[in-house]
Amino acid sequence: MFVVGLTGGIAAGKTVVSARLAERGAAHIDADRLAREVVEPGTPALEAIARRFGDAILRSDGSLDRAALGAIVFSDPDARRDLEGITHPAVQQLSQQRMREATEADPARVVVYDVPLLVEARGTGEFDRVVVVHAPRETRIERMVSLRGMDEADAVRRIDAQATDEQRLAVADDVIDSSGSLDETLAQTDALYDRLAELAAAKAGAAAKAAAADKAADPDNACASRITPPVRSQQPRADQPRPSSVSGRS
Ligand SMILES: CC(C)(COP(=O)(O)OP(=O)(O)OC[C@H]1O[C@@H](n2cnc3c(N)ncnc32)[C@H](O)[C@@H]1O)[C@@H](O)C(=O)NCCC(=O)NCCS
Ligand SMILES: Nc1ncnc2c1ncn2[C@@H]1O[C@H](COP(=O)(O)OP(=O)(O)OP(=O)(O)O)[C@@H](O)[C@H]1O
């Protein structure tokens, strides 16, 4: 399994980039969507949220009132931590299940896990590649206000609830500069997909070769298989150059 962690600050353009990667053939798993699934009515997470925040965060039909909860957690870090303590373990478990399902038919498929809080919550350890979609803070605020109709103070609060650009760029293998035109973002994304597909095919090929060698050494154990660790975890970061915009290490 070759998994790419795709991250970026709010309104950086992760959705745009991951939709293009999916069009090119990647499996796309969206943490924001999983975070909605795990709080659907009847889930243990929604019950825990209602216990912690009260019924005022529920709509009359029993579903989560996202605006009401957002207003609380984006202005109170303790409340946000409590919410994350409920949602993140459920999202983590569901994401791992979805990643396995996505590669059952084709182990060489690129899996893109689109996760806004990679730096803050998920860490880089399980990913073969970390891609950061990057646009400056001011550009993102402007997008939230003009394209999403958000109040500027709200936009700033959401940005301030996240890691800084520097923290995200520090863990990037590849950076997509999304501060220009949409076409420029898409062209970078196409070039990135070509590289990712090559890396995924190489990893799947190496895993298949290793499994065949294991089987030849111990023919009685037909189930022997090696777990191939993330490519990334085999490469110490310290002696690697910082990624240049758009391009990346291979
Ligand atoms: C607070 C909630 C109800 C607000 O819902 P809303 O529909 O307004 O926003 P949505 O979920 O679509 O998120 C939009 C963006 O907000 C940012 N964001 C969401 N949660 C967080 C958080 N805990 N910390 C920082 N930024 C966040 C992300 O950039 C995300 O892409 C919701 O974001 C939530 O349940 N968050 C906790 C779960 C979580 O951490 N999700 C992030 C992915 S695991
Ligand atoms: N060069 C660009 N690259 C990407 N998006 C751009 C660009 N120029 C403008 N945009 C617009 O900026 C917005 C980016 O929003 P998008 O939903 O892709 O961000 P996101 O990172 O997924 O945000 P969130 O964290 O809220 O999920 C879109 O409306 C997109 O059309």
Judge whether 174 lies within some domain. Answer: yes
pLDDT of the residue at 113? 97
Average of pLDDT values for 201-225? 81
Distance 5 CA to ligand 1 centre (A): 17
Domain count, the chain: 1
Domain holding 32, by residue range, is 2-234
Rounded Cα distance, 214 and 222, in Å: 9
Judge whether 241 lies within some domain. Answer: no
Question: Is pLDDT above 50 for 244?
Answer: no
Are 37 and 49 a contacting pair, CB within 8 Å?
Answer: no
pLDDT band at 225 (very low <50, low <70, confident <90, very high): low
Q: Which residues does a 6 A CB cutoff place in the pocket of ligand 1?
A: 10, 31-32, 35, 66, 69-70, 73, 80, 83-84, 87, 91, 116-117, 158, 161-162
Would the annotation count 11 as a binding residue?
A: yes
Judge whether 229 lies within some domain. Answer: yes
DSSP conformation class of 226: P
Helix (H/G/I), strand (E/B), else coil: 32: helix
Rounded mean pLDDT of the chain?
A: 90
* Closest ligand 1 atom number to CA of residue 9: 29
Judge whether 240 lies within some domain. Answer: no
Average of pLDDT values for 39-55? 97
User: ipTM of this model?
Assistant: 0.94
Question: Is pLDDT above 90 for 117?
Answer: yes
CATH number for the domain that contains residue 227: 3.40.50.300
Cα distance from N-terminal residue to C-terminal residue, the chain: 17
pLDDT digits (tens, 9 = 90+) for 50-78: 999 999 999 999 999 999 999 999 999 99
Unique residue bearing structure tokens 């290490």: 249
Helices 66-73, 44-53: crossing angle, 10 deg rounding: 60
Judge whether 124 lies within some domain. Answer: yes
Judge whether 239 lies within some domain. Answer: no
Nearest CA to ligand 1 atom 2: 70
pLDDT digits (tens, 9 = 90+) for 71-90: 999 999 999 999 999 999 99
Average of pLDDT values for 198-221? 87
pLDDT digits (tens, 9 = 90+) for 123-180: 888 999 999 999 999 999 999 999 999 999 999 999 999 999 999 999 999 999 999 9
DSSP conformation class of 122: I
Judge whether 176 lies within some domain. Answer: yes
In three-state form (DSSP H/G/I as H, E/B as E, the rest C), the secondary structure along 86-104 is: HHHHHHHHHHHHHHHHHHC
Half-sphere exposure of residue 189: CA atoms within 13 angstroms, side-chain side = 25
